[in-house]
Amino acid sequence: MSDSLAATIKRVKEKLTKEAVSSLLDEALLVSKLLGPKSEFGNISKEIATLSKDEKQQIGTLLNECKREVLQAIQKRTTKNTEKEEWFDVSTPGQRPPIGHLHIVTQAITDITRIFERIGFTRVRHPEIDTDWYAFESLNMPPDHPARDEWETFFIQSPITNNQSPTKRKIVLTPHTSNGQVREMEKGNLPIRMINIAKCYRRQSDISHVPMFHQFEGMYIDKNVSIGHLKGFIDYFVKQYFGPERKSRLRPFHFQFTEPSFEVDITCGICNGTSILPNGGDCKLCKGGWLELAGSGMIHPNVLKNGGVDPSKYSGFAIGWGVERTAMMKSGTKLDDIRLLYSNDLQFLEQF
């Protein structure tokens, strides 16, 4: 009993000493609060009454000692508080927590995902290495079709030998994220609001091309989907990601897997879409105030059919663009060599 009480007294002393040091109350109030009859020590004094004579003496002494220490702490604090404040060099550099960095591509992917989640588009993942069927043929691009030139495709050596259809045997590194279109439709859930972000590969490497890059694909399938919905989708993204002052437009284009097809332009952030710089010079970044952002279109009926979707009941749009390019366009940085992105040079990575 007395052992435990002694321990409690010591613990209370520790606690009160700490409080005494840090408290801003004036001395009289603090003494009454920490040492008065209603304080924790006051309560312990009442318990002492129940002890044996020996114990009373022992614990009583301890209690008084402890109370004195607390009182000293209170007094010391008061004197200290009246002393002049010591000089402190606030210009000394602080103690910094470590800073890590996320790759600029990760940052862009997170931003894009967030933006589209808010209008009900959910991110999914589809293969980055896929069959010719999903990467080309199901997208209305038969073998030997000139439209395939657009994609400098890497092929994988070993075919899938137990498949009868040649296009399902051949394996490619996906040159775009559109291989996810038919795969997503095959899940059989309609309507679809999909975002697919993945690595893509093309046979190209120079200051403005990397053999590995990331693409983003948006797909919407529902009843009565219109070109206006695609415009709304793009406009929403452009304003959220690049800023409310940016505008977008569609231009006619041709892709085998959409009809009609469009190229998407946004106003240039450097010249504000005027093609003329504040100093009167011509803007070098854009073409007449516009920058190409993405390829898009209304999904071709053959593609819908390949995904098991009835084109007489449903329509939809698809849009794809490069994550790296979009990120660069946002930050306004023009890398003199885009391959820096994957060089893993810390001097580059630590800038983001």
Partner 1 sequence: MNILVPDSWLREYLETRATTKQIKEYLSLCGPSIERVNGVDGETVYDVEITTNRPDSMSIAGIAREAAAILPRFGVEAKFVNDPYGTKIKNQISNIKNEKRLNVTTDPKLNPRWMSIVIDNVKVKPSPAWLSKKLEFTGIRAINNVVDITNYLMRAFGQPAHAFDYDNIGTKNGVPTMILRASKKGEKLKTLDGKTHTLPGDDIVIEDGKGALIDLCGIMGGESSSIRENTKTVVLFLQTYDPVHIRRTSMALAHRTDAATLFEKGLDSELVGPVMQKGIELFHTLASGVAVGEPFDVYPESFKKYSVETSRKKLNSYIGSPLLDEEIKNILNNLGFEPKVTRDSISVSVPSFRRDVTIDVDIIEEVARLYGYHAITTTLPDGEPPATIRDPLFDIEEDIKTRLRDFGYTETYGYSMLSENETRTFSLHTKNLYTIANPLSLDLVYMRPTLVPSILKAISDNASSAKPLALFELSLVYLWKENDLPMEKPKLIIAQSGENAFSVLKGTSEVLFDIYGISYPSDSLDFSNIYLTTNKTLSLGSFGYIGEVKRELLASLDIETPVTILELDIETLIAKKQSVGRFVPIPKYPPSFEDLALKIMPKTLVGELIRKLKNADPLISNITLLDSFENTRTLHVTYLSLEKNLTSEDVKPVRAKILSTALKDFGATLKS
Contact positions with partner 1 (CB under 8 A) in 293-352 = 298, 300-301, 315, 341-346, 349-350
Residue 72 to residues 17, 23, 39, 60, 69: CA-CA distances in angstroms?
A: 9, 14, 17, 18, 5
Q: Which is nearer to partner 1, 10 or 76 (CB)?
A: 10
Contact call for residue 56 and partner 1 (CB under 8 A):
no
Is 212 among the residues that bind partner 1 (CB under 8 A)? yes
Among 76, 101, 284, 334, binds partner 1 (CB under 8 A): 101
∠131-122-321 over CA atoms, to 5°? Answer: 60
Window of 55-63, 80-88, 186-194, 238-246 that interacts with partner 1 by CB under 8 A: 186-194
State phi, psi for 282 to the nearest 5 degrees.
-80, 140
DSSP state of 267: E
172 backbone dihedrals φ, ψ, rounded to 5°: -130, 160
Q: Per rule CB under 8 A, is residue 233 in the interface with partner 1?
A: yes
Considering only residues 61-90, where is the footprint of partner 1 by CB under 8 A?
A: none
Residue from 92, 161, 164, 279 touching partner 1 (CB under 8 A): that is 161
Q: Which of 90, 99, 332, 336 is close enough to bind partner 1 by CB under 8 A? A: 99
Among 124, 285, 328, 335, binds partner 1 (CB under 8 A): 124
241, 330 contact by CB (below 8 A)? yes
Q: Contact with partner 1 (CB under 8 A): which of 27, 55, 69, 235?
A: 235
| Residue whose CB is less far from partner 1, 244 or 252 | 252
When binding is defined by CB under 8 A, the residue of 18, 76, 223, 334 that contacts partner 1 is 223
Residue with tokens 């390949």: 306
Distance from C-alpha of 343 to C-alpha of 347, rounded to nearest angstrom: 10
Spatial distance between the Cα atoms of 226 and 322, rounded to a whole number of angstroms: 24
Q: What is the C-alpha separation between 166 and 277, in angstroms, rounded?
A: 54
Q: Does 54 bind partner 1 (CB under 8 A)?
A: no
